[in-house]
Chains A and B, each alone.
Chain A
Amino acid sequence: MPQVSMTVNGKPASGNVEGRTLLSSFLRDTMGLTGTHVGCDTSQCGACVVHVDGDAVKACTMFALEAEGAEVATIEGQAAPDGTLNAIQAAFQEHHGLQCGFCTPGMVMSAAALLKDNPKPSEAEIRDYLEGNLCRCTGYHNIVKAIMAASGQNVGAIAAE
């Protein structure tokens, strides 16, 4: 089997994979990083979103071998080593941006990608950006609130939908 090597959350990671091994499988099964969730496995739900060389991608719709040499960031690398949540995670907790939590890793990684390019997104921009991240619990409202808060914006003005 071919070998693949990449950097995951700043640390070198490598393993033997098949050509058909998905990046999500490599992260979960080889690396044991099960925070990257596989919901639909059809690239629709976004629970598996990770960053590859800084871009948000669906890890279930990319082969591990395509990430050869790449810098991969997953939900496990978001909090500080002592467990202190980052601003987005803390805002999700504070604003109750999750219920069952299954979609949350993807939501947090998508939110991080959005805020990197657009540090003060409007409510409409946040909703538009989360088009590929499905949540079946929250109705999205508190997720949007959390991302507004994480970007240092006032969340009081967001109307419930």
Chain B
Amino acid sequence: MYEFEFERPTTLADAIKAMGAEDAQALGGGQTLIPTLKQRLAMPAKLVSLGAIDEIKGVCKADDGALCLGGGTTHAVVTREAAVDYPALAALAGNIGDPAVRNRGTLGGSIANNDPAACYPAAVLGSGATVVTNTREIAADEYFTGMFETALGEGEIITEVRFPVPEKAAYQKFEQPASRFALVGVFVAKYVDGVRVAVTGASEGGVFRWSEAEAALSGDFSAGALDGMAPPAEGMMSDLHGSAAYRAHLVGVMTRRAVVAAG
């Protein structure tokens, strides 16, 4: 690792101030960033740890029924505390990485990084959630802008993510067996006004909504409504774990499984 200055503020206000420094980088749980630093793939002048800021941690319910998760909330806490209100989201969080990773990794860290094979982006986009930062609110549809790319600006910190709670939902992940990242993961959520389907792990553009499946499921929420359907292979990732065509096929399979799992 290259050297850097380390700061660990205890308030959001101090964190925002610290992020004003040149080449400052926010540190969530570090489960992706620390390995990245070890490989010298990043060289921030300053790391601002968000781990001691209690005001961006925790799970609560908004007046409109949405579930609000602090950006600094670990996967382990989401698994425990969202289990009653949003079981599909809790289950997704409880299957990220391994238990020790889930005790450190955070929601904000995951979606700020926007790894194309991460689980959380599928839940955030699939729920039509709102990403709240220290300066503004960003709709999920505007937030994810490409592989490892988001709408976040310099020094912007994710303070909260608000998830509207669906009537039913489920996430199904086909794990890449070594890394346990999603080779393909699909989050399906049925709301009063329609169904959302978000796919991670598959596309070169990062997480995306599969609109044909959404239209079919909004008319008939059953696996049968997706019979024989799969998105085009064009634009899907292709590597030694799976070709573009294989990933496209898996999207269809995992979406049908998610619909069945949602019940």
Which A positions have Cβ atoms within 8 angstroms of B? 2, 18-20, 22, 41-43, 46, 49, 52, 55-58, 61-63, 65-66, 68, 110, 113-114, 129, 131-133
Contact = CB atoms under 8 A, between A and B. Distances in A.
A42 B101 contact: no
Contact of A61 (B8, B47, B49, B104): B104
Contact of B35 (A42, A49, A52, A65): A42
B101 A66 contact: no
Contact of B76 (A52, A55, A110): A55
Contacts, number: 75
A8 B37 CA distance: 26
Interface residues of B, number: 27
A57 B3 contact: no
Nearest to A40: B35
Contacts of B98: 46, 131-133
B38 A41 contact: yes
B101 A55 contact: no
Interface in B108-142: none
B100 A58 contact: yes
Contacts of A43: 31, 34-35, 101
A96 to B, nearest CB: 24
A63 B46 CA distance: 14
B3 A20 contact: yes
Interface string B1-12: 111111010000
B37 to A, nearest CB: 7
B35 A61 contact: yes
B30 A63 contact: yes
Contact of B30 (A66, A110, A113, A131): A66
Contacts of A22: 34
B37 A20 contact: yes
